[in-house]
Structure formats: C-alpha cells, structure tokens
Structure 1
Amino acid sequence: MDRTVPRPMNWNGTEYHIQLSSEETGGCIGIFSSVCPPESGPPRHVHEAEDETFHVLSGEALFWLAGAEQVAQAGETVFVPRGVEHAFRVIGPRPARMLTILTPGGFEGFFREMAEGQYRIPEDMAAIGAIGARYNMTFTGPPLAA
C-alpha cells in the first residue's frame, strides 16, 4: 500500500499522528500516536462504539477506569472496553508517548476536527461535546485532578 507520512496535528498541547486510519482498514481499526505533556489528559468520557487500547511508549500516566486507578509506565498497556467511563493524566516530569488503538476505526476523525478548530478545554466543552457525540463519545466529567 502506498501511503504518505501523516502530518502532526496539535490540540491542547498534545501532538497526534494518525498511524493507520479507518479509511485504510475498511473501518476495522484506527491507530494514532500521541505525545502528551506532563499533567495533561482528557476529561472523563465514554466511547459507546469503540474499544480503546493505550500502549505507553515512554513516560507514565495515571488511568482512571470507572473509578479504579492504575499507573501505566513505558511498555505497559491499558485496555478500555467500549461503554466504560475513563480518563488519564500524564504524571511525572516528562511527556508521555502513547500508541492508541481503537476498534472499530473512525474515532481518529475526532482529533482531526479538534486540531482544525483548536477547541479549548474547558472553555469550548459545549462544542467539543457536540463533536464528540458525532463520534459516539459522551463527556462525563472533568479531567483528572493533579
């Protein structure tokens, strides 16, 4: 398959690269990498249609899944089944590099829209929530506190 190298997308201080899009896999899977700054992370949310797998490449992050917390360091993987409320926060002084896999694919389009619009958290949560809903995602609470 002949494909171009994806250009980086930046949103809220995180750099995203779509590694494999749903368009390339017939909708089966979407994979993106990210470099997340210290203390960053998304608001609590639920994916209704996708399972989400995070593989930490470097750094570490605190993951919150339906009230249970776990720290994932470089080389560790966290699986979040669809329908489970979750969030994460990068901990420690270094950015965290992660590879995120969503099955089925398609959710990677959310990050394209966020980067294009440069929506801010918490100021633009109404717009972010409306776009998230188009990708079967519901925001359920704030980001994890430091």
Structure 2
Amino acid sequence: MGDNAEQTTAKVDPRTRLRYTKASEREAVWFLGDRIEFILTGEMTDRRLMMYYHESHPDSQPPLHEHEVEDEIHYIIEGGITYWAGDEEVTLYAGDSMVLPRDLPHTFRSLPNVSTKWFTITSPTNFEDFVREMSEPCTVDGPQPGWEMTPELATRLNDSAKRHGITLLGPPGTLPTDVPGGTQPVVRG
C-alpha cells in the first residue's frame, strides 16, 4: 500500500460505557445538611461528568465559592433558588436551569419556607470527591434534621475545598459583591 497506507485506529465500543442507575439503588448522603443522591458518578463516566439529585432545606446556602476545575449545571425540579454569580442575581423556579462556569465566584440560596429539589451535572467530576469527603450517609429521607454549620465543620469544609480545587470566598450569606473582586472571573496563570 506504500507510504500513504491508512492506519487503523482502535475504536472503543460505546456499549462498554453504557450505564444506568435505578432510583431504588441510588446512594444518598447528607452534604452540608442537604440530601444528595448520586445518579451518575465519575466511576460510571470515566470522570467526564457527574449527575446528582439535590434536596435542600429552605434558605439553604453554600459559602460563596469558585471552582477551579468543573462547570456546574442546575435544573430545578421543585421550589426555587436565587443565584448570585459574578455581578448577576436571578431567581429561578421549576423548569429553569443555570450554568455556573468554573472560575466564576458564585453562591445560591433556596427559597424560604419551601424545600427545593434540583438536578446538578458537573463536568468533569472532581466535585464528587469533595461532596463524598464532606458527606455522611442519610438515615432518613429529606434534608438532614437539625443540621447547622459549626466552627469545626467550617474548618473541615475549608480544608477539603482547598484539596479539591474549590476556593471559599466567604461564609454562607456572603455575596460576590461583598468581597473585593468577587464579581470578577478568576484569572489563572
């Protein structure tokens, strides 16, 4: 065939990557008092993406933070969430979605007086390792009863976030406008 011979590239059979999760088989954990159910994990997707179901307490809010590695997509099923990302503020409800790109400081808060439920997809799956490190197994359905942020938990959260490429910019309740440079994308060398 000479010098111009075609080289055959081995192609992975996509059937070897086929995955599914039955609702009755999902692993459920409490993460910062909210219920997380893993639907697709990094192990199932060659660490390309993770998908989980999230059920929060009313007024649940993570610390202001930014991700170095992953993008997040939220799709709201029930209730509503107010998002602060960069200099944007928007409240979204069932059927709405939000893309939270890496390197953009953000936080969000579930609406008061109602539990909010949503799906989250992250790509790649580094965030899963953080969630697992900061979680505990659920013992009842729904958000964790009586959960509160303690000083010890805040220290553990900050240490874990650093290990997983997440920068905490302030405690829950802090908005991007409360932090110098908090509305600006992170510039990495």
TM-score computed with the length of structure 2 as normaliser: 0.70
Q: For 1:66 and 1:131, how far apart are their aligned partners in 2? A: 23
Structure 2 regions of 5+ residues with no counterpart? 1-18, 138-143, 175-189
Match of 1:131 in 2: 160
Q: Between Structure 1 and Structure 2, which shows a larger proportion of strand residues?
A: 1
Q: For 2:101 and 2:33, how far apart are their aligned partners in 1? A: 26
Report SS of the residue matched to 2:134.
helix
Which residue identity is paired with 1:11?
Answer: F
Query: Would the aligned equivalents of 2:83 and 2:108 in 1 still touch at CA under 8 Å?
Result: yes
Question: CA-to-partner distance for each residue in 1:22-68, whole Å, 9 max, x for gaps?
Answer: 11100100111110010111010000100111111100010010232
Structure 1 residue corresponding to 2:135, chosen from 115, 122, 127: 115
Which residue identity is paired with 2:173?
Answer: L
Structure 1 residue corresponding to 2:171, chosen from 139, 142, 146: 142
Work out whether 1:95 is the aligned partner of 2:121. no
Deviation at residue 126 of structure 1 after TM alignment: 2.1
Match of 1:38 in 2: 58
Structure 1 regions of 5+ residues with no counterpart? none
Which residue identity is paired with 2:159?
Answer: A
Report SS of the residue matched to 2:104.
coil
Q: For 1:3 and 1:76, how far apart are their aligned partners in 2? A: 24
Query: Would the aligned equivalents of 1:43 and 1:142 in 2 still touch at CA under 8 Å?
Result: yes
Structure 2 residue corresponding to 1:68, chosen from 64, 82, 88: 88
Show structure 1 runs of 4+ deviating over 6 A.
none
Query: Would the aligned equivalents of 1:59 and 1:92 in 2 still touch at CA under 8 Å?
Result: no
Report SS of the residue matched to 1:143.
coil
Query: Would the aligned equivalents of 2:21 and 2:40 in 1 still touch at CA under 8 Å?
Result: no
CA 138–120 in structure 1, closer or farther in 2 if over 3 Å, else same: farther
Deviation at residue 2 of structure 1 after TM alignment: 6.7
Q: Between Structure 1 and Structure 2, how many residues are aligned?
A: 145
Which one has a bigger Cα radius of gyration? 2
List aligned pairs for 1:3-14, cutoff 5 A.
5-14=25-34
